[in-house]
Chain A
Amino acid sequence: AQTVTQSQPEMSVQEAETVTLSCTYDTSESDYYLFWYKQPPSRQMILVIRQEAYKQQNATENRFSVNFQKAAKSFSLKISDSQLGDAAMYFCAYGGATNKLIFGTGTLLAVQP
């Protein structure tokens, strides 16, 4: 069975600084996707970034980028130039051969002004 682990329950970053959120996963599948979702307080979860496992190039979306290390089964999210609106719970998720997503326990990110 696939698992997703987020070992940082909480993180804090100063506005305009860079922060990295960690995620590791375990799978025996060769074809899969990895996702980072953002869940602001009392608001719906939105996709931040997606990485296809067969692509070696790390995905980037504006200030958000990932460091995908397939052999190490590691998938970290880097947020550059942090903004107050980035404060939220961040979930790492795995999507494999089945159609369900498997989520980690989340990292609560605080952004200090």
Chain B
Amino acid sequence: DTGVSQDPRHKITKRGQNVTFRCDPISEHNRLYWYRQTLGQGPEFLTYFQNEAQLEKSRLLSDRFSAERPKGSFSTLEIQRTEQGDSAMYLCASSPSGTKNIQYFGAGTRLSVL
């Protein structure tokens, strides 16, 4: 197993465009998390899935953001009508079920909105 994989690693887009990121978790992990990290800050929680069910969403996740995990395996995070303030690193993590397990992170997708 190669760990949590995220694609693309970098994305440059123009304001107003839609973007979609993909995350492939560690295969036996049924929990999947999305975080956002801006320059000089720690990651901030966005949302998480237990299998295909989205169980929690942060207030940071505006209506322009949507996340899916249709088959309980990979997940996508879509941002519609991007704004310059969306520029950040988007991190995905996975863990086995059960509380307080270690979360394993991917390398992230760096989004730049021009």
Contact = CB atoms under 8 A, between A and B. Distances in A.
Q: Which of A93, A96, A103 has the most CB of B within 10 A?
A: A103
Interface residues of A, number: 27
Q: Which bracket fits the contact residues of B?
A: 20 to 34
Contacts of B45: 100-102
A44 B107 contact: yes
Contacts of B4: 44
B71 interface: no
A91 B105 CA distance: 13
B74 interface: no
Contact of B105 (A45, A50, A96): A45
B107 A50 contact: no
A45 B56 contact: no
A48 B107 CA distance: 16
B28 interface: no
A98 B56 contact: yes
A103 B102 contact: no
Contacts of A4: 42
Interface of B: 3-4, 31, 33, 35, 40-45, 48, 55-56, 58, 91, 93, 95, 99-100, 102-108
